[in-house]
Structure formats: C-alpha cells, structure tokens
Structure 1
C-alpha cells in the first residue's frame, strides 16, 4: 500500500511540474498583441431621408459603388449619398454632368425614364425624364430590412473607423476574433480590415447593371433583393410599381441577381439559387448550387454560369476562386471546374472571353473556349487599377468601376485592351 501511495505521490508531483512548465511556456509564448480599431456607429432618422430628391452640380467621385448604363449615360453610385450622372455620348470624353442626391442609395435600375432606387429602407420611383428636375412619383416604405431601428437614435446604417484604437493581448478572449463588441462599442482587428447585358428580356427601354446588381428588370417586372428575400414588383405602370410576391430565398444573405432567359440567378453567400420567372409575378424555385461561405456574384452566358467566390472581412471566407457551372439542365447545375484566383469580384462574359475584376490585382481577360482550362488561357492583364465590377456594353466596349474610378476600354482585340477614358475618384 505504501508503495502505491508513494507512486501516486510521484505521479502527482510530475503532473504538477508538467502543468507549471506548460503554463510557463504558454506565458512565454503569449507576448503577442493585436491592434483593434474603434468604429463609430452611424444612425439616421426617417425625417432625414424621406425628403425630395434634388439634382446638384456635378461633383468629384469619392467612394464609388455600383454602376448602371442607360441611354448613353453612366450612373455611378456614391455609397449612401446618391448617383453621379455621366454623359457618355463620347466614350473617349465622358462628362460628369450632375449629381442626384438620394440619401442611403446603393442600388438602382431604370425603365422608361423611371429610376428605381433604394433610399435606406424605402424603395423610390423617380421620374428622370429631365435629369435636372427629378420627381419622386412613388415611395414604398419599409421595403428593406437590412437596417435595424433603435429608439431615439434612428436606423443603424453602418459603422465607420475612427482614429482611436486599442491593443489586445493574446490572453484576452477577443484576441483571436476579427471583431468584438465592448460596452456597445465595436472594434475591428486592424489585420482583418479589407478595403453588380444580355438576355434580360425586359420590354420597354431599360438599362444595364453590373454583376453586383441587387435590382433586376425582366418581363415588365422589377426584382429587388432584401437580405434573405426576393421581392417582385409588377411594372405595367412604371410610375407605380405594384408588389406581387415576397419569396424567402436563403437563411444565408443573398447578394446579387442576374436575369437569363426565363430565369433569375441569385448569388448568395452560401450558393447560387435559380428561380423560374416564366410567371414573373410569382417566381418559382428551380434548383441551387451550394458552395462554402463566400461573396458570390453570378454571370450567365450560353447556358454556363460563372461564379466568383472571394474572401474578405464581410465575406467570411478564405476562398478565392472562379466556379464554372453547366446550367443547360436548369434543374441540375453541374460543376465543370473551379479555378484559383487572387481576389475575384465582378465579371462579364461574351461569346469567347471572360472579363474578370480582381480587386487590387486589376482586370484579367481569359478565353473561354476550353471551359475546363480557363486558367491556362489568360490573354490580357490590366494592372494598376482597383477593379470592382464590369459592364460589357458591346463586343468592343467595356466599363470598369473600382476604388480608383471609372475606366472604359476598347475590347476589339481582347488580348490587348485599349483604354478609352478614365474618370478618377478624389483622393
């Protein structure tokens, strides 16, 4: 019995020493810190944005969002502020003519001189027959639920970085997080911060959006995305959109919408969803293609869907790839191939070429004749621009929007793009 007790005591001493040693090692290895930036919450009251829309003199672009093309005009969103109106009759000399002040705007679509725009939580219909005298002809309130309402503060819109920061030691439970909330204040890790043409079948005069679009026009209907929902509006009278259906798409956030033939391809952060819009007032689920959580623009051409997945703070992913999917059997999407990319964003495809925005790595052009070997057929790479999204207006004309401004290229020779013009952002 004594021997057993002595042996047990010995084991206990060894265990204690090992634990102390381990703690000492952990302590020695726990000298690292991370810098977290303090963010300020921005709120807005309803009376601040439920106002008349005005046309202001042209101003420099500062924080470009999405773009839209309509009747020789390029409309470039200034995030949460409105839309730059750019006369593009001469693509080599675009003229910034005016600025439509639309508080809270991120997305637009246009049909027959009626501009549909989000105004924070509301959907506006604006008569733009005269850009210098826009008139709100319809306001549908509380359409978009992405903004939460807080008593006495208003709608929470976003958080912006301040000049204040803190250092978090590795022993802090928040050390490994990308962000955390402390007493109502949000902090983001400094090392985790990263800086939407064919076949749309819409009657009447409509415009063209990019691959990041959340609004789409098809069959005299407007479709808008709201977090997890697809909302359909009938546009028999373009001045008075009539809501016909609200469809829950996914419990993951839905981000982009692309019309192709009779279908709506919806990019979500967990996959691509396909809806049949043959009965446009009530789109019906057809199929889906799932992928890992990532940001997800979709472009479809000749029964092939091109889907980009990328990482970043908002995308919650470590994936940067291009998926090529056969959708000739609309009920059974089939992956042809996946290709590693740098940081793919928006894209456009013509009969033989893929134009791919790669963020800070610029714009890349790939031949698409061999769908299972696209990565081996890159034919051009435009560096020195931050490319976010692209619209192909014709086989020889490309629009590219990015953090540094609006570019136009002649694509007559896809292997050697020629810059037509550039409108920079204000630094």
Structure 2
C-alpha cells in the first residue's frame, strides 16, 4: 500500500464528512414574521370608524382636532372643539405609522418604508393622494424579547406581527461552529375654537399643525423634514399632494426628536442637542452642538432658552434624570448650560410663555413657573400624580397630553387651579 494511495483515501474521507456537515438545520422557538405584501400596504390607507385607544404614541393638533398615533396602526381623530367633551370621530388606518405632520388639508405620515400624503379636508372620506415609496429604512414592530427573531425576508413585504412558533433555518457549518447574531430594529421611538384660517375637516384652518416634543416630523415653509435614528430626510411640498424627495443626510447617531424654532432645527439625541440652520431650506446646515451625558432627551425652545429633559431606561444610557436649561446667543454659536433640575424620569415637555410642562414618567405631569430659569425647581405650580405621562402640547390655555393611560386634556387658564377636564382612556380589553 503506497503513500499516494493512502493520501487519496484520507482526502476522500475528509471530503465526505465535510459534505455531510456543510449545511445543518437549526430549529428553535422564536418570533416568526407575519407579512403584509407591499401591494396591500400601498392600498391600506382609509378612514374607519372610531376605535378604542390601545397603544398611544405621539400627538398632533390642528384646527380643533387632536390626532393620536396608535403605534404602528394609524391615527385616532378626536374633535376637541368642545374641550370638555372630546369626540372620537374616526380612525385613519396607516400601517406602520409612528409620526405625522399636517399642512393645510394634507396629512403626511410614515407607513413602514413609505411616506404617504393623505387628504383630510373631508374627514368622512379621507383619501391617499401621494406616496414616496422605499424612502425610509425597513423597520420591524415590537416583538417578544424572550424569543429570538426568525429570519426576515424583506422581499415578502413588511412585517406587521409575530407568531411564536418553531422556526427552522438552514445554516452553514465548516469545521467549527458559526454563532448567529440576530439584527434588531428599534421601534422608531406627540368652549369655542382654539385656532382660526381651508384645513382639516373642510373648515377654515391654520397652515401648519402643532406637534409634541417627541416628534420626528416637522414642517417649515414649503418643506417637510423627517428624521430617523441617524438620517435627516428633506421633502419639498410646494405641491402638497406630491411630496418631492430632495435627498437625505447623515446627522449623527441615536437621534430621537426634532423641534423647529426660529428658522432652525433642534435635534435631541442620546448624547446632546444638535442645531441646524434652515437658511437654505433644502439643505439644512450644521451650526452647533450641546453635549451631555448619555441619556434620552427631547428638546423644546423658546426665545434664547432651550429646555432639555434627560432620562434613563431602555437604551438611554446611564442613570440620569433631569431638566437642563441652556442659554443661547442670537446665532446659536454659544450654548451655555445655566441650570439643571433633578427629575424622576422626564420625557416630553412643552413651554407656553412662562409655563413649563414636563411629563415626568411614572411621577406624572408637573407644571412649573419658568419665568426665572434659575429658580424653576422651586416654582412648582401643580403636580398630577398616579399617571404615566409621555408627551404634551400646550396651546391657548389648554394642555393636550398622552400617556400609558390614554389621552388627557387640561385647562390651565387659571394657573392656581389647573383642571383636568376630559380623558379618553386606553382600552382595558385583552
């Protein structure tokens, strides 16, 4: 038996065993994706009858209507022309929706990977009038973290739900084990008339609506700006029904919120506040940055002051829960922190003249006199405990608030006696 023959036999055996182990099937109990086809997604926008609020997200106000996002499902439309008796008039089904903004009679919304434009001039018969396809990153809904994610095939459509069941997939194996790491997508975590000028519902209305501090959509002149975790998207909306994508730019990482004020964009990120100029509307330009310890931070601005809430939890970083007040000069070249106040777990906030509203998580809603920014902490006007709060919109002596418990409406015309005048609770039905 010569050496050449022995070598050939050993090579044959190695090839056989390598071929047997080239592919193996892994089986595990996991989150199996449930898909909606792209065709169905792009024919899904419609007005439905009013439904219970189950998982409220951001809020938006325009022309006596509050729009409450039902996370990943669509938008509740509530008539608040009589603040003490809010009336839910319908639900706009928009799969994959998290954010909205409204100019005149057109509502702009994300729908998974698309931007849609919806005519809301007749709320009895809303209709999609425009769409920019494949503009946003592919996103996944929330899943049960106790189970691994199954493979997602974006060619099959968008993932609208998960089934917990046995998942099989074929994995390659050479001469050593390959360890699989699933990729995860975070949820792209705002009597008489209030305002007067054609708009929502066909009546006279304002040009723009008003969003909360947790918004990622914003309007300025003939432009719509949207932001995700790292990218700013710019659309021209001179033709309201046909938004035109002008491009996108990377503005950093872990961007959470966007606030437009005084011809500038203010972004809240986990590491600080970014400021961009809108002098050239189609091409926002970086101006400055206020840096803070890693935490989540929505921002609101009034005059020369920026109010930033920092909170921990989830992916927000270290245990920091406070309100920061930053003084800014006219061109925003100088950003000076002038005060910090300890909070429980602050999220959204709003400012109306000298009145500051803070959603302090499980600690509830807190209202401060902010006329002296150096004494805010000692000037608590009111506190509403036993509610978990998320975001607010203060407007003309009425405060619209959303939280885990649903929608809340307060009258703060008398700051010494702020009253909760109406609620729409979340559904408790399983």
**Coarse TM-score class (shorter-chain normalised):** 0.7 to 0.9
Q: Is the 8 A contact 1:294 1:319 kept in 2?
A: yes
Contact 1:336 1:372 in 2 (8 A): yes
Q: How does 1:332-347 map to 2 (within 5 A)?
A: 332-347=334-349
Equivalent position of 2:124 in the other structure? 132
- 1:40/1:186 contact within 8 Å kept: no
Alpha-carbon distance in structure 2 between the residues aligned to 1:39 and 1:412: 52
Give the alignment partner of residue 83 of structure 1, picking from 53, 57, 75. Answer: 75
Offset at 1:132?
2.1
Write the deviation string for residues 196-239 of structure 1: whole angstroms up to 9, x where unpaired: 39xxxxx9611111000100011221100122111111111111
Report the counterpart of residue 304 of structure 1 in structure 2.
Answer: 305
1:26 alignment partner in structure 2: none
Rounded to whole Å, the distance in 1 between the matches of 2:315 and 2:361 is 15
Matches within 5 A, 1:183-194: none
User: What residue in structure 2 maps to residue 232 of structure 1?
Assistant: 234
- Please give the alpha-carbon distance, in whole angstroms, between the structure 2 residues aligned to 1:224 and 1:301: 21
CA distance in 1, matches of 2:244, 2:157: 28
Distance in 2 (alpha carbons) for counterparts of 1:43 and 1:184 = 21
Contact 2:62 2:206 in 1 (8 A): no
Deviations 1:300-327 (A, max 9, x none): 0121000111111132332111111012
Question: Structure 2: which 5+ residue stretches go unaligned?
Answer: 1-28, 141-151, 166-178, 195-204
* Shift in CA distance, 204/417, structure 1 to aligned 2, threshold 3 Å: closer
Q: How far does the alpha carbon of each residue in 1:76-129 deviate from its partner, in whole angstroms, 9 at most, with x for none?
A: 111111111111110000101111111000100001110100001100011111
Cα displacement string for residues 172-217 of structure 1 (whole angstroms, at most 9, x for unaligned residues)? xxxxxxxxxx967899xxxxxxx939xxxxx961111100010001
Cα RMSD (Å): 2.7
Counterparts of 1:242 and 1:91, CA distance in 2: 37
Match of 1:121 in 2: 113
Q: CA offsets per residue over residues 251-292 of structure 1, 9 Å max, x none?
A: x22111111111111111221110100221111111011112
Q: 1:381 to 1:204 in 2, by over 3 A?
A: closer
Contact 1:146 1:227 in 2 (8 A): no
Secondary structure of the residue that 2:374 maps to in structure 1?
helix
Structure 1 pair 39–299 and aligned structure 2 pair: CA distance change class (3 A): farther
Structure 1: gaps of 5 or more residues: 1-37, 164-181, 188-194, 198-202
Judged with a 3 Å threshold, the aligned counterparts in structure 2 of structure 1 residues 288 and 376 are, in CA distance, closer, same or farther, namely same
Give the whole-Å Cα distance in 2 for the aligned partners of 1:135 and 1:58: 17
- CA change 1:404–1:285 in 2 (3 A) is same
Deviations 1:13-36 (A, max 9, x none): xxxxxxxxxxxxxxxxxxxxxxxx
SS of residue in 1 equivalent to 2:215: coil
State yes or no: 1:150 paired with 2:141: no
| 1:258–1:125 CA distance, 2 compared to 1 (3 A) | same
Q: Which residue in the other structure is 2:423 paired with? A: 422
| SS in structure 2 of the partner of residue 237 of structure 1 | coil
Structure 2 counterpart SS, 1:371:
coil
Deviation readout 1:321-351 (Å, 9 max, x if unpaired): 1111012240121111222110001001122
Three-state SS of the structure 2 residue aligned to 1:385 is coil
1:413 maps onto 2:405 in alignment: no
Q: Deviations over 1:151-185 (max 9, x none)?
A: 5664457879x79xxxxxxxxxxxxxxxxxx9678
Q: Check whether the contact 2:44–2:95 (CA below 8 A) recurs between aligned residues.
A: no
Deviation per residue, 1:23-61 (Å, 9 max, x gap): xxxxxxxxxxxxxxx973655342342224111111111
The number of residues matched between the two structures is 359
Alignment of 1:60 onto 2:61? no
CA distance in 2, matches of 1:236, 1:151: 32
Helix, strand or coil: the match of 2:276? strand
Q: Residue 208 of structure 1 aligns with which residue? A: 210
- The alpha-carbon distance between structure 1 residues 328 and 41, as it changes in their structure 2 partners (threshold 3 A), is farther
Q: Which residue pairs with 1:401 in the alignment?
A: 402
